Amino acid sequence: MDNPMPPIRTTDGRGRLYESIVDTIGNTPCIRVNNLAPKHATIYVKAEFFNPAASVKDRLAIGIIEAAERSGTLKPGQTVVEATSGNTGIGLAMVCAQKGYPLVVTMADSFSVERRKMMRMLGAKVVLTPRAAKGFGMYQKAVEIAEANGWFLARQFETEANADIHEATTAREILGDFRGQRIDYFVTGYGTGGTVTGVGRVLRRERPETKIILSEPANAQLVGSGRAQGRDEKGAPADSHPAFEPHPIQGWTPDFIPLVLQEAIDRNFYDEVIPIAGAEGMKWARMLAQKEGIFTGVSGGSTFAVAMQVAERAPEGSVILAMLPDTGERYLSTPLFEGITEDMTEEEITLSRSTPGFQMS
């Protein structure tokens, strides 16, 4: 039987006018994976690249800034400082640009150049730190700069505003989208830990049947190691975690266990930790792009790789939701795009030569 022809698509707007760019943060869609998921299970992905600065960290950025505005710790026009692998910095740069706060970001020079350029395009200053000093080094540099100048330090790894914004937005969106439907597994990685902690609070309370799967890089299993993180009196990392090794999943797993994530560890907000190799994450990011038209970064590919593992062993009819933290566009200069050439491939050259006109010389 022939497939029925799809109707002509129409749109009717979002039903409101927005006062500013920050009002468009959140309400990202959960999208079914149709071609890659196994037949016995259903996989959805929560596409955080629908946020205005194209990552889940837009939520964190607005959460931190508006919590600080409410408490009075951030004064009008005061400079904001933060250490970031990129996405938090991009989100903060967007929010600070809209609200009128100067922003200074510290970032190890190992992260993709696209991220630096995007933050500078949005008006932020980017101070690079040596990659040998890892995430702890860029974190300490941010602390130094903030203290030396009397500026506001965002403290994404410790602030309560981090998990709070995910409890108030991400988790509520998931419950709304899956109202009246089963959701057997929720799969996420961690950078600061805000997503798993904030969503975990709500799922444990309102959907206790949902199993929460946490993932981290196979060669940097900080949580999986079972070894405690050294901390100072404010909960900030006192040193680099001994289980850390450099890994290619940008945005995941700094070289310390953030205080925000510690809540999820202490309160058992996940049922299992599944490690994933960076190369496997890149493979599945490419598969999502080429087989589903879903364009995500290395962290999204890695989360989806774990979701596929969960799906393969899940009972018949299981429903799985995986977080996709950002877009693949911020990885153009990274190994994710190895083999994706600027020039024509041999097959493309052959196609060009198959007709006489408009051939490249």
| Average pLDDT, integer, range 177-182 | 98
User: How many Å apart are CA 149 and CA 124, to the nearest integer?
Assistant: 16
Q: What's the pLDDT tens digit per position in 64-75?
A: 999 999 999 999
Q: What's the pLDDT tens digit per position in 283-321?
A: 999 999 999 999 999 999 999 999 999 999 999 999 999
| Average pLDDT, integer, range 110-134 | 92
Q: What's the pLDDT tens digit per position in 217-230?
A: 999 999 999 999 99
- Using 50, 70 and 90 to split pLDDT, how confident is the model at 86? confident
| Average pLDDT, integer, range 61-89 | 96
Catalytic residue selected from 240, 299, 302, 318: 299
- Quote helix, strand, coil % in the chain, to nearest 5: 40, 15, 40
Res 245 pLDDT > 80: yes
Please state the pTM of the whole predicted model.
Answer: 0.94
pLDDT value for 2: 64
pLDDT value for 326: 97
**299 has catalytic annotation:** yes
Res 1 pLDDT > 60: no
| Average pLDDT, integer, range 197-201 | 98
| Average pLDDT, integer, range 76-81 | 97
pLDDT value for 85: 81
User: How many Å apart are CA 134 and CA 114, to the nearest integer?
Assistant: 19
- Using 50, 70 and 90 to split pLDDT, how confident is the model at 13? confident
pLDDT value for 4: 81
| Average pLDDT, integer, range 158-186 | 98
For the chain, list the domains and their CATH numbers.
Answer: 21-50+170-337 (3.40.50.1100), 57-153 (3.40.50.1100)
Proportion of the chain above pLDDT 90, given as a percent = 91
Query: Could you tell me which residues come within 8 angstroms of residue 66 by beta carbon, excluding any fewer than 6 positions away?
Result: 161
Among 242, 163, 252, 260, smallest CA distance to 215 is for 252
| Average pLDDT, integer, range 185-196 | 98
Mean pLDDT score across all residues of the chain: 96
Q: And the tokens for 45?
A: 């992905």
Q: CA distances (Å), 344 to each of 293, 349, 357, 358, in order? A: 21, 6, 16, 14
Query: Could you tell me which residues come within 8 angstroms of residue 275 by beta carbon, excluding any fewer than 6 positions away?
Result: 215, 216, 217, 218, 221, 224
| Average pLDDT, integer, range 178-195 | 98
| Average pLDDT, integer, range 196-208 | 98
Q: And the tokens for 12?
A: 């009717």
User: How many Å apart are CA 222 and CA 244, to the nearest integer?
Assistant: 6
Catalytic residue selected from 57, 134, 141, 211: 57
Res 3 pLDDT > 80: no
**75 has catalytic annotation:** no
Q: What's the pLDDT tens digit per position in 247-275?
A: 999 989 999 999 999 999 999 999 999 99
